[in-house]
Chains A and B, each alone.
Chain A
Amino acid sequence: MALRKLDVRGAKCPIPIVKAKKEIDAMAPGDQLEVTSTDPGSMPDFVGWAKVAKTALLKEQHTGKDETGRELYIHLLERK
């Protein structure tokens, strides 16, 4: 089972979900995608998208900080 990583730091909505959707669609079922964003709006947006997404399952979300102290919002998704 593969883990892909997607870095969308600095990007604002809709970019994180547009890119995540593209990745997920190209993945095999069971593969996981970790999305790293700096947009706090990405937290509720990924939750909302996961409710309607046909191929993405939101596994978990958490926050951290990067080396410059910037808040990071991390979304772990699984290809259904």
Chain B
Amino acid sequence: MVDEDKDEPATPASVEVGELLPRLDRGEPVVLLDVRNLDEYESWKLEPRRPVETVHVPYFDFIEDGDAALARVPRGRELVVLCAKGGSSEMVVELLKDAGVRAANIAGGMIAYGIYLEPVKLPLEHDEAGRFELWQVNRRGKGCLSYVIVSGGEAVVVDPSRHAGWYEAFARARGARVVQVLDTHVHADHVSGGPELARRAQAPYYVAAGDGFELRHAVAPLRDGQQIRLGGDGGVAIEVRVIRTPGHTPGSTSFLVGGRYLLTGDTLFVASVGRPDLGGHVAEWGRELYASLTQRLADLPAGTRVLPAHFASQAEIGAEGVVWGRLGELRASVPELQLGDAAAFVEAVRGAVKEPPAAYAEIIQVNLGAPASDDQIALWELGKNQCAASAHRSGRA
């Protein structure tokens, strides 16, 4: 008997999101078999940096009529199978195997994609390279960006996702301990890992909820203009300056790192501005947002790098793999900043905003300190963020 499988490379039964995405980003010829229902498939897709050839055959088509479903699966190609949580895709991988078709299951499905974190080290200006490191942590499935600033064995974490242990381990791997945890605002699209990370690291936590919100977490307040210093001695210290930028929420705060890198939260994105409608006061918050954007950030030089908390499309990710823009360029390119006055800004934003993000009210409550189970949170967090006033598809500024 000849074992035909012997000389063929073994296809692993399962692949992690973190292994697969870089391969798809490079454009490797892998075919994605998405077995979710049509609604889920259309509303939230796996998005590598380069388009991936995708075949959509719902898993229940395999259950109903296996032969017909199998006939729709391409042969002779490397196949990876995707579903919502990884269970249905595993079943399909088994059915394919029985039919002699090799495929790998994407472990954990879209849930795993939605929590996958990819750290990207920012290429800093030459004179700063030795002073500190700035990492943009890209939660690609949701379009959420968090930041880790490392200097002299100390780390400040800004807008961490709920997987606090990841940031702790990441800082440790950079030879640093977390000394301060910051949230730019009370998030509405994802649950913050800030309070838990601060607890684990025994570091102070800061978020400003603003008037009318009862924050149950213990916070160490920061003044507008206050400087947080990290890096300790040896002349390697770096300052993080607190700049209050209300509007997206009444407590929204931006952080200026080393005088050049502005972590704007949901105040300013590279292709839009934050939506000011989620509190039900679009006119009032919208005027505040306009004042923050045009007055409170007015003194910052045009060369300041803007590092937002979200991106809406892959086009916003630059060549270096970083989502960022120069403040001067964004002042000239972000459509909402071309309107001339607050009234026109409010009207434009009011007209552009879509439905509130799914479960935003529940997520805000959790971020204010209400309890919720991990399963419940995972469900609320499904899908991409919808935090921008408008999602422009025209590419980077």
Contacts and interface: CB of A to CB of B under 8 A. Distances in A.
Main secondary structure of the interface of A (DSSP, over half): helix
Nearest to A22: B63
B20 interface: no
A17 B39 contact: no
B60 A15 contact: no
A52 B63 CA distance: 10
Nearest to B62: A14
Interface string B65-107: 1000000000000000001110110010000000000000000
A3 interface: no
Main secondary structure of the interface of B (DSSP, over half): helix
Given A13-B83, A13-B85, A18-B63, A48 B91 contact: no
A42 to B, nearest CB: 10
B63 A41 contact: no
Contacts of B60: 14, 17, 45, 48-49, 52-53
A14 B59 contact: yes
Contacts of B65: 52, 54
A40 interface: yes
User: How many interface residues does chain A have, given as a range?
Assistant: 10 to 19
A14 B37 contact: no
Nearest to B39: A44
Contact of B63 (A12, A21, A40, A44): A21
Interface string A42-69: 0011011100111000000000000000
Interface string B8-39: 00000000000000000000000000000111
Of listed A13, A18, A41, A47, residue having the most chain B CB within 10 A:
A13
Contacts of B379: 40
Contact of B40 (A17, A21, A44, A54): A44
Given A40-B379, A44-B39, A12 B85 contact: yes
A41 B84 contact: yes
A59 B142 CA distance: 35
B63 A48 contact: no
B61 A52 contact: yes
Contacts of B274: none
A44 B38 CA distance: 8
Given A44-B39, A47-B37, A17 B83 contact: no
Interface of A: 12-15, 17-18, 21, 40-41, 44-45, 47-49, 52-54
Given A15-B87, A49-B60, A52-B64, 18 more contacts: A12-B85, A13-B59, A14-B88, A17-B59, A21-B63, A21-B64, A40-B379, A44-B37, A44-B39, A45-B58, A48-B38, A48-B58, A48-B60, A49-B58, A49-B63, A49-B64, A52-B58, A53-B60
